[in-house]
Amino acid sequence: MTVTTKPAADAGAAPTGRALSGSLGVTAIVFMVVAAAAPLTVIGGAAPLGILLGNGVGFPSMYAISAVVLLLFSVGLAAMTKHVPKPGAFFTFVGYGLGKKAGLASAFLALLTYTTIQVSVYGYIGYLLNVTVTGLGGPDIAWPLYSLASIALVGILGYRHIDLSSKVLGVLLIGEVGIVLALVAAVVFAGGADGLSLAPFEPSHVMSGSPGIGLMFAIAAFIGFEATAIFRDEAKDPNRTIPRATYVAVIGIGLFYTLASWGLVMAWGPDNVLGVAAEDPGAMILVTTAQYLGVVGEVIINVLLITSMFACVLSFHNVITRYQHSMSNAGVLPARIGSVHAKHVSPHLSSLTQSITAAVCVVIFAVLGLDPVLQVFTWFAGVATLAIAILMAITSAAIIVYFARTKKDGRLWNTVIAPGLGFVGLVGAAVVIIANFPMLVGDVDASGTPSFGAVSAVLLGLIVLFPLIGWVQALVIKKTHPAVYETLTDAISG
């Protein structure tokens, strides 16, 4: 990977012709990051698996617990955005707190996180489009072709101004959230299968089954909310917009997931929901919708499942392109990637780079004969889940160190207590995810028992390799391009 020999611009702005701009408000940014969390995909796909493999009836409580942990993380994140006016998010914040080498290592881990979650969903959307089209009597087109078509459409939207993407995401998000709320309302109106109750939040149910696996599925569902800071340069009033968007996103996602999964449990009753999930977790949301909203509701939610995944990959595409843009302006990716389109004011070359990356990954998966759901989706979503927990834990530590050193913010809750509690929660979550990683990626021994084998080793190895690449590159830049190194993330020490 090459680096630029020209030092980055002044700390307050990117070089001329390389700065992003826009007037995104809280609502637009929330739409983009919540769309990345793919609410309908989570409730339709992850929630049934969380019920089945996790803590059964108590699974909805895992969303509430995850929301609390991530809200604590968000307090420190919001404080940091006011004192570090940069759009690099993890890359910049870790650099300011823990130094340049750690910042660059986290940047590469972030690229791995968002790329793997994006390509995992491309696999799933290719499969779903194939099943839907053939189910309607259409031609049986291989899933990779559908995935590549999706990449092309996302690439077109990502190439243009961010306002277009935000409008598309807004429409799609309203549709998927609306159908889920309609389903919950129908369940409540009907009184559920066995009456309405708070059984999912009773301690005996919360701790039943495998709560660690349940927590793993729950945290995975939040991936994307933390990316609000990456849109700083395109926000209307970043010092207010970014913190508000972050709080609204995590609270909104947490409440929505908790309510929707509670409705799913109530739809079948605490005594029956586990059996229904075991029959066919992938079809659980469709069966539930058919029972409470009829055939029309089932058709609508099936269509919205596809648009939910499309909204997810479009949102992550925008996040990745802006990460690459920030890294390019810092001098650690090729200079051209940081270019901004004269008309669309978008990181168009970064968008093209990401589209090509995703397409190459899909082609490789197809050549290797990987299953789009059981392998592409499950394996790489597992990588992203663990990587994001590690990233947020490192960022929490960086926030605490930064404010302890600079004394720029004397609010103990915002700069020490909340991020400290978030750090403990995220480290605990990372440990749980690692312990259960073989089950998440389907890595089993000859007897069918989950165990750390070749698949787990390769995928966990990626989480070690990528930040190591960033760390080594920082050392190389320090030696060969000291001027560039001094401007990396504008860190105070390194």
Q: What residue ranges do the domains of the chain occupy? A: 26-489
Among 169-173, 349-353, 431-435, 455-459, the minimum mean pLDDT is found in 169-173
What pLDDT sits at residue 187? 96
What pLDDT sits at residue 350? 82
Phi–psi pair at 446, nearest 5 degrees: -60, -30
Give the mean pLDDT of 154-177. 73
For 366-434, the three-class secondary structure string (H helix, E strand, C coil) is HHHCCCHHHHHHHHHHHHHHHHHHHHHHHHHHHHHHHHHHHCCCCCHHHHHHHHHHHHHHHHHHHHHHH
Q: Exposed (0-12), middle (13-18) or buried (19+): which is 20, by Cβ within 10 Å?
A: buried
Give, for 437, the enclosing helix (H) or strand (E): helix 437-441
Give the mean pLDDT of 371-390. 88
What pLDDT sits at residue 469? 94
Q: What is the pLDDT of residues 221-274, one digit of tens each?
A: 888 776 666 666 666 666 677 788 888 888 989 999 999 999 999 999 999 999
Q: Which residue has the higher pLDDT, 145 or 312?
A: 145
Among 177-191, 291-305, 319-333, 382-396, the minimum mean pLDDT is found in 319-333
pLDDT category of residue 426 using cuts at 50, 70 and 90? very high
Least Cα distance to 33 among 273, 279, 226 occurs for 226
Q: Are 286 and 179 in contact (CB under 8 A)?
A: no
What pLDDT sits at residue 348? 75
User: What percentage of the chain reaches a pLDDT higher than 90?
Assistant: 36
Q: What CATH code is assigned to 26-489?
A: 1.20.1740.10
What pLDDT sits at residue 293? 94
What pLDDT sits at residue 132? 82
What pLDDT sits at residue 346? 64
pLDDT category of residue 342 using cuts at 50, 70 and 90? low
pLDDT averaged over every residue in the chain: 83
Cβ neighbours for 482, distance < 8 A, ≥ 6 positions apart: none
pLDDT category of residue 494 using cuts at 50, 70 and 90? very low
Residue 141 to residue 131: CA distance in whole angstroms? 9
Is residue 89 predicted with pLDDT exceeding 70?
no
What pLDDT sits at residue 234? 62
Is residue 153 predicted with pLDDT exceeding 70?
yes
Triad 63, 114, 37: Cα angle to 5°: 30
Residue 167 to residue 164: CA distance in whole angstroms? 5
Residue 484 to residue 478: CA distance in whole angstroms? 8
Give the mean pLDDT of 413-442. 89
What pLDDT sits at residue 15? 42
pTM value is 0.82
Among 79-93, 95-109, 279-293, 378-392, the minimum mean pLDDT is found in 79-93
Q: Which residue has the higher pLDDT, 227 or 357?
A: 357
Residue 199: how many CB atoms within 10 A of its CB? 20
Among 96-105, 361-370, 431-440, the minimum mean pLDDT is found in 431-440
Is residue 40 predicted with pLDDT exceeding 70?
yes
Q: Is 444 helix (H, G, I), strand (E, B) or coil?
A: strand
For 458-484, the three-class secondary structure string (H helix, E strand, C coil) is HHHHHHHHHHHHHHHHHHHHHHHCHHH
Sign of the Cα torsion 180, 268, 219, 67 reads positive
pLDDT category of residue 14 using cuts at 50, 70 and 90? very low
What pLDDT sits at residue 4? 38
